[in-house]
Amino acid sequence: MKKVLKWIAYILLSLIVVIFITGLILAYLPTHSRIKNHGITPAKAASLRAQYTGPHNLLTTSDGITLFLRRWNPPQIDSAKKGIAVLIFPGFTAYSGPYSMAADPISAGGYTTFGLDYRGHGLSDGNRGDSPSKDRWIADLAESVKYIKGLGFNKVIVLGHSLGVAFAMCVADAVPNDISGLILLSALAQVA
């Protein structure tokens, strides 16, 4: 009976060792993604932008990347609101298109509204879903605010949604004299 128990223990131990070694081998084998996400070329991004027929602006950043700003114009210009623009910073994986749900009522209220497609998102240039650095990301945000001010809007109010709330706070810290207000919606919660 002791020999049978030893033999069973030996088989179980051997099986565990084989499973462990197989797991290690599988964990370190190179894999190839079935998703071919290599980003899009600047030419392809330009082609996609050319197909968009709605109101928009194009901002060339200080490092030569084109950022897309979707624009919602008010149906009528109220002289009291003429110099005020609202700039929407979407959540991290989003782009400006779906934010028409917020931009339509804001523009209907008389405010010119812009939605930024971050670098690598939507109709902007850049590696899809990527940014070279945190400093470059904040520079893109600050340059978008300055660009809108350069269009003749003396007051820019930034509306941040989800992770865009953090981006709104970063840009307010980077260019505090260029921001007239913040609207922060559904901030991404920090998990401790």
Question: What is the tens place of the pLDDT at every residue in 62-105?
Answer: 999 999 999 999 999 888 899 999 999 999 788 999 999 999 99
Gyration radius from the chain CA atoms: 25
pLDDT for the residue 130: 75
Is the CB of residue 156 less than 8 Å from the CB of residue 144?
no
Q: Rounded to an integer, what distance in angstroms lies between the CA atom of residue 178 and that of residue 155?
A: 7
Q: Which amino acid is at 56?
A: H
Is the CB of residue 131 less than 8 Å from the CB of residue 163?
no
User: What are residue 173's DSSP bridge partners?
Assistant: none
Judged against a pLDDT cut of 70, whether residue 37 lies above it is answered with: no
pLDDT for the residue 5: 86
Judged against a pLDDT cut of 70, whether residue 36 lies above it is answered with: no
Judged against a pLDDT cut of 90, whether residue 110 lies above it is answered with: yes
23 pLDDT band, cuts 50/70/90, is confident
pLDDT > 70 in the chain, percent: 93
pLDDT for the residue 191: 47
Judged against a pLDDT cut of 80, whether residue 50 lies above it is answered with: yes
Under DSSP, the state recorded for 190 is P
Mean pLDDT computed over 32-41: 63
Q: Rounded to an integer, what distance in angstroms lies between the CA atom of residue 89 and that of residue 15?
A: 54
- For 128, what's the count of Cα atoms within 13 Å in the CB-facing half-sphere? 10
**Summary mean pLDDT of the chain:** 90
Q: Rounded to an integer, what distance in angstroms lies between the CA atom of residue 149 and that of residue 147?
A: 5
Least confident of 1-10, 56-65, 174-183: 1-10
**Predicted TM-score (pTM) of this structure:** 0.78
35 pLDDT band, cuts 50/70/90, is low
